[in-house]
Amino acid sequence: MDLVSLFAFTAAYAIAVAVPGPGMAAVVARALGGGFAGAFPMVLGILVGDLIFLAFAVFGLATLAANFGALFTVVRFAGAAYLLYIAYKFWTARPGQEQVAPKAEAGMRTFLAGVSLTLGNPKTIVFYLALLPTVIRLDQMTALGFAELVGIVIVVLLAIGCGYAYLAASARDFFKSSTALRRLNRTAAVMMAAAAGAVAFRL
């Protein structure tokens, strides 16, 4: 694939990821509540969801995905419900007990929440449907070209998602008192609940 097309896709995708939306809001909230390790599985989940939609768009399955409205509605509300659960856990956590990340099963649940957050967000597939045809000749897509797009999505999303998580987790270190941690947990809870609302009501 030519460098101009790859650069155009990279720039547009980076802007779309960097602009705060439900996904990055959830990552920040997870990092505020549970540190970088607690947020990283969610970044990976969002990445997997993006790659699924990229594949749908590239291989002409976007229309098929759009027609399964009921399925995507279920996924969207399931993801929103889990985000609300995490928000509740943060809101009610006592300072020092909010570190949920070390358990493998908690990491897997967070990962799946990230996947469902992306799959339940119609803006993601609309982005791919609107962007790809304008910068890439899909009718001339090759295996190498698809691999290049996948590589761009992985690098850009991991860099920006982990950047958000790292900054939020670093900000957490400035708060040491029980009162400050409680406020931080509740801030994370509000952000997580807002992300859930954005997903559920397609804001």
* Tens of pLDDT, residues 27-39: 888 887 778 888 8
Task: Give the dihedral sign, CA 46/47/52/53.
Answer: positive
Cβ–Cβ under 8 Å, residues 78 and 116: yes
Q: Cα–Cα distance between 152 and 149 in angstroms, integer?
A: 5
Residue 130: how many CA atoms within 13 Å on its side-chain side?
9
The structural domains of the chain, with segments of one domain joined by +, span 3-200
Greater pLDDT, 132 or 102 = 132
| pLDDT-derived band at 195, boundaries 50, 70, 90 | low
For residue 106, how many C-alpha atoms fall within 13 Å in the half-sphere facing its CB? 15
Once rounded to an integer, what is the mean pLDDT over residues 188-202? 66
